[in-house]
Homo-oligomer: A and B are copies of this chain.
Amino acid sequence: MTPVITVFERSPDRGKGLARDMRVRWALEEVGQAYEVRLVSFGAMKEPVHRALHPFGQIPTYEEGTLVLFESGAIVFYIAERHAGLLPDDANARARAIAWMFAALNTVEPPILDLQTTKFMERDKTWYDERLLIVEDRIRDRLGELSDRLGNADWLDGAFSAGDLIMVSVLLRLKASGLLDEYPNLSAYVARGEARPAYKRAFAAQLAVFVASQSPIA
């Protein structure tokens, strides 16, 4: 049964691959699982039909037979558990790869989300510039710790895993800010992720959706 994922009809990042469906597309490409895509508008995302799939009215969702999943981390994990290539066989290494998934989503991403929220929602505030510096410093704390741990390694714990897939996806959100450039080993780590054929296929697929949405015929 081919799984179906939902994605933005018109991604707010204009096809830069920062929407959360990219993580799921990338995971599906890594394991060689074909998938279908259903486009959802901003309006439809908040309607009951979509909220029945995703209680928080977001994308992506994942449908496979009678299974409905939401939350990109959970979907990537589901894919990783059912196919070879994203989690090591060794039990301890597998547990550590999963720990990196959670660390990316619960320790590294929150200040990065805060930066994005600040930029979108607080730009008109008198405090905007001062607060931006505060949030950027919180991100630097995390990046410094992550950079120290990664050191000269290619990936966070031996071979590429779902932990790296999520971590790279989270760090990519910082590209425009320039913060990543302050940590050369993290920049190289993200570049290694982007260079993977599966990443490139997933990126092209999400970009094609955005480009089509801009067509005057649509």
* Chain A: interface residue total (CB-CB under 8 A): 47
User: What residue in chain B is nearest A96 (Cβ atoms)?
Assistant: B69
Chain A binding surface SS class: helix
Contact of A92 among B66, B110, B134, B138 (CB under 8 A): B66
CB <8 Å contact, B98 and A121: no
12 pairs from A and B in contact (CB 8 Å cutoff): A51-B145, A51-B148, A55-B149, A56-B142, A56-B146, A71-B99, A74-B99, A74-B103, A102-B105, A105-B105, A106-B109, A114-B114
Using CB atoms and an 8 Å cutoff, list the residues of chain A in contact with chain B: 51, 55-58, 66-75, 77-78, 92, 95-96, 98-99, 101-103, 105-107, 109-110, 113-114, 117, 121-122, 125-127, 130-131, 134, 138, 142, 145-146, 148-149
